[in-house]
Amino acid sequence: MPVEILIIGGGVVGCAVARELSRLDASVTLIDRADDVAEGASKANSGIVHAGFDAKPDSQKARFNVAGSRMFAGYCREVHAPFVRAGALVLAFDAEQRAHLDKLLAQGNNNGVEGLRMLEQAEVLAMEPAVNPAVLCALYAPTSGLTSPYELTCALADHAAVNGVRFQLNTEATRITRDGSGFAVETSRGVIRADVLVNCAGVFSADLHNQISPRRLSIVPRKGEYYLLDHEETPVFSRTLFQTPTKMGKGVLVSPTAHKTMVLGPTAQDTADALDVATTADALAQVREKALLTWPQMSLRTVITTFAGMRAHEVGDDFIVGETEGAPGAYEAVGIESPGLTAAPAIAQALAAQIAAAHSLTPKAAWVPAPQRPKPFADMTDEERQAACERDPAYGSLVCRCEQVTEAEVRAAIRRPVGARNIDAIKRRTRAGMGRCQGGFCSPRVMEILAEELGISPLAVTKFGGESRVVVGTIADAAKGDA
């Protein structure tokens, strides 16, 4: 019988681990409490691939950050996910901040980050003319990059699935106990037994860890709030702009995204509620105030949405990756906050290697490459669009005007190996609803296509799973009630 491996958590780390384990001759299942992968921190972060200069030397964060950063470009090519090697600047506005950047430069060199150097004011402004002219200097990190965290997570899930990993969503792990030489995991959909357990549960990872390990861990949910600005013909900045970091994190950044929008944020507020991702006026005012220091000409007239994400901050302030102390056969990635996205490829590789060695797992005879992704309609030339419409007339039906997403692309998103099952899942895979109207025009058509493809009533279509139904009845039913 093959070794049964259960992964808890469908974020970027969990899906990266699933992909690595799919190379091995084992039976792998991934569960997540949500209706889709990437529903936690992996859908709500800045999408920055960090260079690794601000991680404490000799820490797990530093090790996995730098290793992951080096892997990232090739990693995204393999699974057909967006990646841009944009570079980053950390800005200083006074002598004290300059001294801090000198420390970051030395720290980054110690961590093995390549290409770091200090720039004086004139060079900073030559690179990014819209930066506050009061800037004194900046630390330049050319290896910093940009990705789409949710698109990457979905691509990793698809690659794992075509290589045999089972994805069981809407399945919340509630209790873990020893079951002979393995584990019994009580879930919202029954008990799952596994020989090997991999805990990638984000803000809930310490809770699961503490059920099977004598070592106590504690996660403090740390909320970050953001503004998202609409894309422009010519982005104002080409690089990620950080301010000098504080003990609460890297601070408010101003950055382009992989899709040429602009993101501002995040804040950093510790909270007791790991599921509270509501935005607040006070926190967004902080983002605006701090972003203005970087970009004095900033206007919020092009804001298309605000959002919040929750980071899993472990009180020891480091990643905890490897076999779970006191629980042979259990492995974990706990406290994976920033730079967790960057570190994900390296974390997954390390965990898979450790599991393979401990359980004598051998590579499969054949491992299928990641599914190809057709070029987005929005990026096609006129000639390519005409050819696409001739192949599939559904390319001629535009669903999302803001982001130029077609019916063919929406249907393809639902039919993927780990396909979309709700409106937000369509948005993450196609960008339908990501534009300036935020789904105001396209959501009804997306809802219709979901109902057709899934064979369900439009009344059963949800925004993000659970009870988030988009419509509650029909006009005909309402008329009957009034009669």
Annotated active-site positions, please?
Answer: 50
Q: Please tell me the distance from the alpha carbon of residue 473 to that of residue 480, in angstroms, as a whole number.
A: 11
**Residue among 150, 164, 229, 193 at smallest CA distance from 22:** 164
